[in-house]
Amino acid sequence: MNFIRNVKRILIGIVLVVFFGFTIFMTVLLLNYNKFGVTQFDDTSLLIIKNSFSSEKYKKNSLVVVESKPVKNYKENEEAFVYHLDGKGGVDIQLGVIAQVHEADNAITFKNGETYSDEFIMGTGEKIYADLGKYLSIVESKWGFLFIILVPNFFLFIYQLYSLIVEIKYGKEDEYA
């Protein structure tokens, strides 16, 4: 009986460590949003491809690791992601092919004629993870974070508080004496 109880405690401990590790990881991702609403660590951004712009290379629901670099390191005919401000104050991410690099102005021009300064250049796609963006977008959403992260943590807190109260009220004082 003691063996089963110990195995149960070990399994519950492993599940809790994995869950709390996942919680911390997702919280770090959300805390590292840049001013455009994209997770960014230094020069690396995690871009979730939505259905608004999907191409043969970047499929819907993919997670793309986008690396930013100085403007002088971009090359003509290279694909780059940029932040595009729409007229309503929102931000849209666009993909384009570079036609010209303007080192003096710290800007690039796409083949469609639009020019972006280095502030709005996101970078080039380095790695693509198919379908991972779908799951990440669910967890990073307001409702997903609430029901996947916050509500289970709240219930775990309440259970631990209940266990503490029961132990204080009904526990034996000198159990091992």
- pLDDT tens digits, one per residue of 56-115: 888 888 999 999 999 999 999 999 999 988 878 788 899 999 999 999 999 999 999 999
What are the chain's domains?
39-130 (2.10.109.10)
Cα–Cα dist 168/151, whole Å: 26
Residue whose C-alpha is closest to residue 93's, from 49, 134, 63, 131: 49
Cα–Cα dist 38/62, whole Å: 14
- pLDDT tens digits, one per residue of 130-161: 889 999 999 999 999 999 999 999 999 999 99
- pLDDT tens digits, one per residue of 30-57: 999 999 989 999 999 999 998 766 578 8
- Could you tell me the sign of the dihedral formed by the alpha carbons of 88, 89, 91, 97, in that order? positive
Q: How many CB atoms lie within 10 A of CB 155?
A: 10
Core vs surface per residue 108-135: b (16+ CB within 10 A) or e: bbbeeeeebeeebbbbbbeebeeeebee
Q: pLDDT value at position 16? A: 92
| pLDDT over threshold 80, residue 15 | yes
| pLDDT over threshold 90, residue 170 | no
Tokens encoding 160? 């631990």
Cα–Cα dist 165/5, whole Å: 21
Q: Which residues lie below 8 Å from residue 102, measured CB to CB, with a gap of 6+?
A: 71, 108, 109, 115
Query: What confidence category does residue 177 fall into, taking pLDDT thresholds of 50, 70 and 90?
Result: very low
Q: What's the pTM value of the predicted model, to 2 decimals? A: 0.80
Tokens 């963006």 belong to which residue? 133
Cα–Cα dist 140/136, whole Å: 6
Q: pLDDT value at position 53? A: 65
Cα–Cα dist 115/104, whole Å: 13
Q: pLDDT value at position 54? A: 59
